[in-house]
Amino acid sequence: MKLSELLNRTSEWLKSTGPNADIVISTRIRLARNLDKVPFTNWANKKQKEQILVQVKEAVDKSVLLKEAEFFKMAELSELDRQFLIERHLMSPEHTYEPEHKALVVEPREIISIMVNEEDHIRMQTVQSGFNLRDAWSLIDKLDTELNQALNYAYSVKLGYLTACPTNVGTGMRASLMLHLPALVLTKQINKVFHALAKLGIAVRGLYGEGTEAIGNFFQISNQVTLGRPEEDIIGNFERIMNQVITREAQARRFLIMKDRDELKDKILRAYGTLKNARIITSNETINLMSNIRFGVHMDLLPDISIKTVNEIFIMTQPAHLQKLENKMLTADQRDMKRADLIREKLK
């Protein structure tokens, strides 16, 4: 599998086929694991990191779930390819730092990916479209069991799985949803909701996870507690809390349609007009405007545009995707012009 082949595929997190997909873009479950009797990545020497790569590669080759997966060494990928993988939510921005002795495992459907030698030796994730915590957990549990048959994990009977960051000790699990919450933002309820989530031990981050800004009313929301509770309990509690957030967003959407339908439609049509006519447009402006378009499509205010078109524009206008499409490096100004060209073509 070549990375360029992914350009012609719709990422699992952008398929809009799962439950509550109008609000929940995608579900992700991540597990952090480390090899027994080997220093954590930040303390391991070059020889130890290389041995981790070898051991994980051998385990991947034995996995039934990963039989079609590709093992990419970070040092062998260009800076553009690394950014491309971040934009597809297959790895974290941190995984690009000091790429020597790091790797990424990706299976063709992009449902499973594994970062090797990021903060932990292994960070595996499964992604499902929409609100689908149970299926995502079932799949990653099977993958974890497969890999554990070939690898000895660092584990404490008292604490659970040992991880580089103390907040991950225990299950080593993070469950997260990528949510689109424009109505809560427009009705000025978003800060109140986030404040309540923080009290419940739930973290809110930006579009690309930890350390990234929230743009376009897109948020990643995840659990923080991993110690002292079984995975099923953590997922069940997180699911109940997220159902409340989804309900609040749905209520806010109905309120806006009933009270301010004309004002809302004007806002959405202005975004549509800008995108359809712009000759130069930045990535952040595109995301903010596409947020309005996505909202308009799901509220039946833009019946002539499909959610498939919205998702294609959303991903293909990202900087690395644009350059992969053009098959060459582009300056920021060139990207802004190419992005506008692509959007106008898609909205014809």
Report the pLDDT value the prediction gives residue 206, as an integer from 0 to 100: 77
CA distances from 117 to 39, 97, 142, 210, 301 (A): 11, 11, 21, 18, 46
pTM of the predicted protein model: 0.92
- Phi, psi (degrees; rounded to nearest 5) at 107: -95, 155
Q: Where are the domains of the chain?
A: 3-249, 250-346
Q: Are 6 and 113 in contact (CB under 8 A)?
A: no
Residue 214's pLDDT band, with cuts at 50, 70 and 90, is low
Q: Domain 3-249, what fold? A: Creatine Kinase; Chain A, domain 2 (3.30.590)
Determine if residue 47 is left, alpha or beta; phi over 0 gives left, psi from -120 to 50 gives alpha, anything else beta.
alpha
The mean per-residue pLDDT over the stretch 123-146 comes to: 97
CA atoms of 278 and 167, how far apart (whole Å): 45
Q: Are 40 and 155 in contact (CB under 8 A)?
A: no
- Phi, psi (degrees; rounded to nearest 5) at 135: -65, -40
Tell me the pLDDT tens digit for each residue of 110-123.
999 999 999 999 99
Tell me the pLDDT tens digit for each residue of 234-283.
999 999 999 999 999 999 999 999 998 999 999 999 999 999 999 999 99
Tell me the pLDDT tens digit for each residue of 20-70.
999 999 999 999 999 999 999 999 999 999 999 999 999 999 999 999 999
Q: What interhelical angle do 307-316 and 319-326 show, nearest 10?
A: 90
- Phi, psi (degrees; rounded to nearest 5) at 61: -65, -25
250-268: b or e for each residue (b if 16 or more CB lie within 10 Å)?
A: eebbeebeeeeeeebeebb
Report the pLDDT value the prediction gives residue 225, as an integer from 0 to 100: 77
Report the pLDDT value the prediction gives residue 46, as an integer from 0 to 100: 95
